[in-house]
Amino acid sequence: MKFPAYRPRRLRRTAALRSMVRENALSPADLIYPLFVEFGTGVRREVSSMPGVFNISLDQLPAEVDELKRLGIPAVILFGIPSVKDEAGSGAFAEDGIAQQAIRAIKAHAPEFTVITDVCMCEYTSHGHCGALDEHGCVMNDVTLEMLAQTAVSHAEAGADMVAPSDMMDGRVGAIRAALDAEGYAEVPIMAYSAKYASAYYGPFRDAADSAPAFGDRRGYQMDPANGEEALREVALDIAEGADIVMVKPALAYMDIIRRVKDEFGYPTAAYNVSGEYAMVKAAAARGWIDEKRVVLETLTGFKRAGADLILTYHAKDAAKWLKEGE
């Protein structure tokens, strides 16, 4: 029998050969760590549905940042957990709000460390929706745009390096870009949650951020999981309005969307490896059903292969440690 001249197995024979022809390389520099911050002192409370993830208080931030820097993780995305919520979500844009204080604390300790802030209202509103509600309980798009723009400016004033609107209101990137530019923050980039789906994978996050809707759900403004073409339209709109980075969220069930976004636009693309994806891996690993290290690194590499330039993930610390062990 005549065999083909090219035999792929030749280059799989040893670890060194596999490394030499590897098409995608995962690095700690690709990772962004989500951080939940609340008021108080000495708080380091593990999220029950997210083993290894903690809600921390402001005084814990320096040590947290130092650990991330040692691991080579270049950035965090901040989620502020207010002590008081109201109908208007006023804590989101308060000068002394939790996110604003967290930004200042990190930048005072490590000015060079990159701070990205989630810009949304759901953590701050008493009803848990992502904006102001009308008399029928529906989110009012244009009123919410003003709140989001005010929030983004307050984050920039506090020292944020980048803002990341996650609300999925129509026109919010343009409104935020215009507000930042008008207030002298033209150099602050926007990472838009451009294709954010109404996903069942968000449950553990809502435990951490205490942001579950008090009634209804968010399918009226987040995307239908069945739609792919719509994601491309959403991304195109955000780019036209001034987004510097576009994001697909969740990541694991939406690798096809990541690939299509990257191929269509060639823009810096982020993937959010969300809480439910993280929790499933942790639960299976705790039962000895999977090799956690291999599954995590394989999954994160999959996001890279799909086209993600940046990966927001709760696995960031563990992944960075494992990657460093392999150097």
99 close to 37: Cβ distance less than 8 angstroms:
yes
Catalytic residues: 196, 249
Which residues 6+ apart lie within 8 Å of 161 measured at CB?
A: 75, 114, 115, 116, 188, 189
Element (H, E) at 303: helix 292-306
- Rounded Cα–Cα distance for residues 304 and 100 (Å): 32
Beta strands in 228-315 (DSSP E): 245-249, 269-273, 310-313
Cα 120 from Cα 145, distance rounded (Å):
10
**Where is 164: in which H helix or E strand?**
strand 162-165
Residues found in the chain: 327
